Amino acid sequence: MSILITNIKQLLQVYDTNVTIVKGKAMKELPALENAYLYIEHDTIIEYGEMKDCEGIEAETIIDATGKIVLPSWCDSHTHIVYAGDRTSEFVDRINGLTYAEIANKGGGILNSAKLLQKTTEEDLYEQSINRLEELIKMGTGAFEIKTGYGLTVEAELKMLRVIKRIKQESLAKIIPTLLAAHAIPETYRNKKQNYIEHIIKDLIPKAAALNITQFIDVFCEEGYFDINDTEAILKAGKQYNLRPKTHVNQFNVLGGVALSVKYNALSVDHLEELNKADIEALKGSSTIPVALPGCSYFLSIPYTPARQLIDAGLPLAIATDYNPGSAPSGNMNFVVSAACVKLKMTPEEAINAATINGAYAMGISNMYGSITRGKKANLIITKPLNHYSEIPYAFAHNPVEQVIINGQLKDIKNPEENFRI
């Protein structure tokens, strides 16, 4: 199949040579072509340029994008899409004054989701999860990292990995699985945390690695969950199976998780609502990218990641949804891009870079996703008519997406019968 998109008002994130990450001041730059075309064959970007150079190109499908913007699909590098049910009752509890920690202490939070997931059949879990994913593809996301972590038993965690593997095989989207080996301490181990950590190290990690589904391991490094020593023990165990870290750090407290993650060559450190100078220094010169999750800050009414400190220090930054049932029940990357501008004080250019090329880097896929470059995969957003790309974050409650091209296939997001599966 071949697709030619013509009369593009603005073609964004255009690079003649492949770029895999954008850092510091360069994040304010968003390469764009005005009045452009883009040519795709199968699942690959073949050519692009100004409309005056488009003569002679033929395609099976031609899209007139007059007045519209074309850019790479959003790359959401932090999600928990595979979960069962919801936690609406806890949402009401928070409105009535309970904190995240208080809800967790009374058996809610992650433990609540784990109980429900353990009872849910693998087939039901798959259907709930892929339906969520397909809704998000319609909102412009073409690549997702999906974590486990709501199992809290070996059997349930492996069930989650199998569901993620099936989604990876059947969805048109790019899927990156992560073993969130240590998300919370189950009730059966409430006063035996070290026993649970040994269980993770000796049972869960080897069995998960044997499935050969994921290349990444994650730990929730936080007070009341897993401290710095616990985290190191788990990351060290993961390293023996070539599982690279992508860690939850600094959501509520600074424990030293950033420097530890860098020590173990983490691909990303995520959350960072709390940050100090030592964390920034630890990130400098590393290959670890910080990831902000503004949707979580919005929902929990906690501080936002100090994006300006990170970017002004010359570092890269990605943004992601943290889509999960407890602290960020939305996977809408359009909102996250807007929140990055409004709450993290990022420019539209910085936010779009953080949600495309840097989001792809945070998943280890930016060599093939996240920019308009010849030879990269054709995962694209075609917007509704807009005057300028700044309208994407400006109109924060609106969906700017009119069509998506996912894995080289043009999809009508308004058609309820449209299938986003291979």
Q: What is the predicted pLDDT for the residue at 408? A: 97
pLDDT the model gives residue 107: 74
**Residue-wise pLDDT tens digits, 393-409:** 999 989 999 999 999 99
pLDDT in the model for residue 419: 87
- pLDDT for the residue 103: 85
The token pair at 262 is 């860098």
For residue 317, the model assigns a pLDDT of: 99
CA–CA distance, 140 with 334 (Å, rounded to integer): 8
Contact 132/81 with Cβ under 8 angstroms? yes
Q: What is the pLDDT of residues 192-220, one digit of tens each?
A: 999 999 999 999 999 999 999 999 999 99
3-state secondary structure of 76: strand
Averaged in consecutive runs of 10 residues, what is the pLDDT profile of the chain (422 residues)? 97 97 98 98 98 96 98 98 94 90 83 95 98 97 98 98 98 98 95 97 98 98 97 98 98 97 98 98 97 97 97 98 96 98 98 98 98 98 98 94 97 89 92
pLDDT of residue 416: 85
For the entire predicted model, the pTM comes to: 0.97
Q: What share of the chain is helix, strand, coil (3-state, %, to 5)?
A: 35, 25, 40
Cα angle: 221, vertex 74, 327; to 5 degrees: 35
Between helices 110-119 and 154-170, what is the axis angle to 10°? Answer: 80
Helix ranges, 85-220 (H): 88-95, 100-105, 110-119, 122-138, 154-170, 193-199, 205-211
Determine the pLDDT at residue 61: 98
Asked if residues 167 and 129 have their Cβ atoms less than 8 Å apart, the reply is yes
Cβ neighbors of 104 (< 8 A, separation 6 or more) are 110, 111, 184, 224
Instruction: Kindly report, residue by residue over 217-238, the tens digit of the pLDDT.
Output: 999 999 999 999 999 999 999 9
Q: Are 381 and 410 a contacting pair, CB within 8 Å?
A: no
